[in-house]
Amino acid sequence: MWEQKIYRIIMLTAVLASSNAIAEQCQQITLSGHPNLPPVVWGDYLSILGSAPDLISEMLAEHNITVISDFKGGNNRVIRDFRLGKFHINPAMARTPAAEEYTDFIEPAIYTQTYDLITRKRSKLNITQWDDLIKLKGVASKDTYLGAEFEAFSEQRLDLVRIQNAQQGLKMLNVGRVDYAIFPQIQDDLFVSLFNMEGVFEKMPVDIATFELFVGISKANTCTLPLEAMSQWISDSLENGHSEHVMNDNLYKWMGYGLNRKP
């Protein structure tokens, strides 16, 4: 009987110790992510930047949690290290069944990524489906990830030139070196305005890719984060326009980085 009591005390102590460890709030977290989804998240070979990392840093600062940014390289390495718990937060990732196995996702989505395909108005092209692109030549930035399905289709069937600077794509399209250009929706209107090319191009009614991006927390994380508060903060930020403001700021930052980068 005495031995059973001792055993119960030991087990209870172990459970309480485990609970206390789990309940300990994170004081510092490491963030990394996809290097090529600007301006939501992107890398400069030193750290991970973008509107999603900025929003996460801002929201966690309210809970006295420090965020350290770590550039990991390509997205395959990012996902591998995230699965292993080598960093805590992926600021903008697609919610897939595979990712659910090692990720706790925060609702709502921090951003919905969509793409525009534009042509010269004078070309009079009518592109409504992917197959319409097969005999044409297109351009997209190396910094632009077009979703798994379109990337596979492009690699197998399209003549799609990848360029270093996204702005170069509009110039190539304008002089007729390519038939179409693909940009994330948030970028193209700004580019057209900066180059004073309003009325020169038109958007085609073709869906390249649309997918929601969520903040992901590694299930291998050993400290706790204020998940409910983070969810509410994202919702409020989307409603009051703060997310859009941060997004626009980061669009200009990314464009400045691209303009200053060597081709």
Which of 47-51, 60-64, 186-190, 203-207 shows the lowest mean pLDDT across its residues?
Answer: 186-190
pLDDT of residue 214: 97
Following DSSP, what letter does each residue of 42-105 receive, concatenated?
Answer: EE-SSSEESHHHHHHHHHHHTTT-EEEE----SHHHHHHHHHTTSSSEEEEE---HHHHTTEEE
Tell me how far apart the alpha carbons of residues 95 and 100 are, in angstroms, rounded to a whole number.
7
pLDDT per residue over 145-157, tens digit each? Answer: 888 899 999 999 9
Same domain? For 85 and 181 the reply is no
Residues 91 and 166 in one domain: no
Token pair 């390495």 in the structure block, residue: 77
Q: Cα(235)–Cα(14) distance, rounded to whole angstroms?
A: 38
How confident is the model over 50-77, as a mean pLDDT? Answer: 96
Please list, residue by residue across 66-103, b when 16 or more beta carbons sit within 10 angstroms of its beta carbon and e when fewer do: ebebbebeebeebbebbbeebbbbbbbbbeeeebeeeb
pLDDT at 229 over 70: yes
Q: Residue 182 above 60 pLDDT?
A: yes
Q: What percent of the chain has pLDDT over 90?
A: 65
Asked if residue 26 lies in contact with residue 65, where contact means CB atoms within 8 angstroms, the answer is yes
Range with lowest mean pLDDT among 43-47, 165-169, 221-225: 165-169
pLDDT of residue 102: 96
Predicted pLDDT at 106: 97
Alpha-carbon distance of 204 to 139, in angstroms, equals 15
Domain boundary among 188, 210, 232: 210
142 pLDDT exceeds 90? no
Helix axes 242-260, 227-239, angle to 10 degrees: 80
Q: Could you tell me if 14 and 100 lie in one domain?
A: yes
- Residue 118 sits in the same domain as residue 106: no
- Which of 170, 189, 210 terminates a domain? The answer is 210
Considering the domain architecture, whether residues 64 and 162 belong to the same structural domain is answered as no
Q: How confident is the model at residue 199 (pLDDT cuts 50, 70, 90)?
A: confident
CA distance 72 to 75: 8
The confidence score (pLDDT) of residue 260 equals: 66
Residues 30, 140: one domain? Answer: no
| Domain co-membership, 30 together with 91 | yes
pLDDT of residue 7: 44
H or E element, residue 139? strand 137-141
CATH assignment of the domain containing 132:
3.40.190.10
**Which stretch, 66-70, 162-166, 252-256, has highest mean pLDDT?**
66-70
Q: What's the pLDDT score for residue 3?
A: 52
Is 219 found in the same domain as 199?
Answer: no
Say whether both 60 and 14 belong to one domain.
yes
- The per-residue pLDDT for range 3-18, each reduced to its tens digit, is 544 544 444 444 444 4
| Top-ranked range on mean pLDDT: pick from 7-16, 184-193, 222-231 | 222-231
pLDDT at 67 over 60: yes
User: Is 75 in the same domain as 121?
Assistant: no
Q: Is the pLDDT of residue 263 over 70?
A: no
| Calpha distance 174→181 (Å, rounded) | 10
Choosing from 180, 195, 210, the residue where a domain stops is: 210
Total domains in the fold of the chain? 2
Given this model, what pLDDT does residue 23 score?
A: 57
pTM of this structure: 0.78
| Mean predicted confidence (pLDDT) in 203-228 | 94
Closest to 215 measured CA to CA, from 85, 11, 33, 42 = 33
Regarding whether 204 and 172 lie in a shared domain, the answer is yes
Return the pLDDT at 141.
86
Nearest 5°: the CA angle 228, 33, 46 is 125
Answer yes or no: do 101 and 185 share one domain.
no
| Domain interval for residue 72 | 2-112+212-260
With 90 as the cut, is the pLDDT of residue 259 above it?
no
Give the type of residue at 178.
Answer: V
Output the average pLDDT for the chain.
Answer: 88
